[in-house]
Amino acid sequence: METFIKIAQFILSLSILVTLHEFGHYITARMFKTRVERFYLFFDFMFPFPTVLNFALFKKKIGDTEYGLGWFPLGGYVKIAGMIDESMDEEFLKSEPQPWEFRSKPAWQRLIIMLGGIIVNILLAIVIYWQLLYFNGESYLPVENAKYGFAIDSVGKTMGLQDGDKMVSYDGGKVFKNSQTIGIDLLLNNAKTLQIERKGQKMSLPVPIDVYKHIMASKGLDFVSPAIPAMIDSVYPKSPIDIAGGKHGDQIIQVDSVPIAYFQQFKQQVQNFKKDSTYLLVLRGPDTVKLNIVIPDSAILGFRAYSFDKFLTIVEKKYGFFESFPAGAKRTWTGLVNYIKQFRIIFNPDLKGYKQVGSFLTIGQQFSPKWDWERFWGLTAFLSIALAFVNLLPIPALDGGHALFTIYEMIVGRAPSDKFLERAQVVGMIIIFALMFFAIGNDILRTFFSGH
């Protein structure tokens, strides 16, 4: 059922994104009195082969446009009269240009039509973030509010970090905002140094390439995380910690002979005692209590720990209706900049970021296993930004490729030949097809062969 819910959310999100992207092309074409022959959600052929398995699940012609639902659920398209596109229909080239055709329109109009989908995707992200901020506001833990410092994972410790260190800045003065995105911030900005404070003393540590490989593979989780005491909130009946005598409010201060200051340290230490008997020391009011316990193979003792907000001050900001609009625009801009930075990592030979490229399988996994509208719309906004950026790439067959040829025409005063555009479209389709196979291959390797 959880998989089905993820798939349903992914398909709904994709449907919204594709429909509105293609509507951007459609509405700008109609603005300039250009005929749109087809408007399809999903492909009515096996993309990218326009002559294979041609059928629609639904179609209806209204005026000059056939509206339809294709069977291949990974995209969609509008077929604009007089334009070479993914349908590879070139029959119109045999006749003289007609006033309602794309090829008859001035270059500046064709450029706007080509960029219409990208513009709508950016506007969609702004609107979504606008409404999310208005209805839900935002909450985060500022770095300065992590009063216990940060817990460090094993890779972070190899670069010289220690549990309890406070994160200050990177590259000599660029400060962190959110204490839960420090690893990602370092990676996206290719930071060379990390400034910290340890027991009142400030120091700077170099960030080696291996740390970035770890952050990239783990999506920044647990590299550094705000430290909190290992305190029990509730105990599950008949669990190992219940059998040992653990109670609500107990603070774990020792696992076997190892002192514990933070919950993250506790999680690391119990891994060393799987299927073994040991003891915990806990503070219970003014008393220190010893709990003899058997650690199961899962290393899960059966209690719920207190959340961050029990110990740390979370900043919660609310926005008015009009105030949330510029904040939504700012978040969209930040998301676009960060996506460009992620894209740059793909081509970094030291990081081998291309191994993290994923297909629709990876995207689908990002949705919640339970229907979560806030997360759904947040992911849809992010994917809208990603779709806008990818479509802007100067690859033939993408909007950016068509726009590039149009800009070339505007500069030199001469359009590329129809034969050139045909061949460029074929080359672009091959590139897209190769990228699709590469991304799907990465997903298959991660799913079935990771760790081998």
Residue with tokens 């806990």: 282
Which tokens is 197 given?
């404070």
Q: Global pTM?
A: 0.86
Q: How many residues does the chain have?
A: 452
143-227: in CATH 2.30.42? yes
**Which residues contact residue 40 at a Cβ distance below 8 angstroms, ignoring those fewer than 6 apart?**
22, 56, 67, 68, 69, 70, 76, 77, 78, 79
What's the Cα-to-Cα distance from 13 to each of 75, 278, 373, 384, rounded to whole Å?
11, 49, 11, 9
232-301: in CATH 2.30.42.10? yes
Residue by residue, pLDDT tens for the chain (452 residues) are 788 899 999 999 999 999 999 999 999 999 999 999 999 999 888 776 777 788 899 999 999 899 999 998 878 889 999 887 665 556 666 677 789 999 899 999 999 999 999 999 999 999 999 999 999 999 999 999 999 999 998 888 999 999 999 999 999 888 888 998 899 999 999 899 999 999 899 999 999 988 888 888 777 777 899 999 999 999 999 999 999 999 999 999 999 999 999 998 999 899 999 889 999 999 999 999 999 999 999 989 999 999 888 999 999 999 999 999 999 999 999 999 999 988 888 888 777 777 778 777 788 888 888 999 999 999 999 999 999 999 999 988 889 998 999 999 899 888 888 788 778 877 887 888 788 888 888 778 777 765 54
**CA-closest candidate to residue 143, choices 88, 92, 180, 109:** 180
d(CA 211, CA 223): 9
Q: How many other C-beta atoms lie within 10 A of the C-beta of residue 164? A: 17
95-103 — which CB contacts under 8 Å span 24+ positions?
A: 99/33, 100/33, 100/34, 100/35, 101/34, 101/35, 102/29, 102/34
**Are the beta carbons of 293 and 279 closer than 8 angstroms?**
yes
Q: Do domains 143-227 and 232-301 have the same CATH topology?
A: yes
Listed by start position, the domains of the chain span: 2-33+84-133+377-449, 143-227, 232-301
Which tokens is 238 given?
């008949």
User: Hey, what amino acid is at 378?
Assistant: G
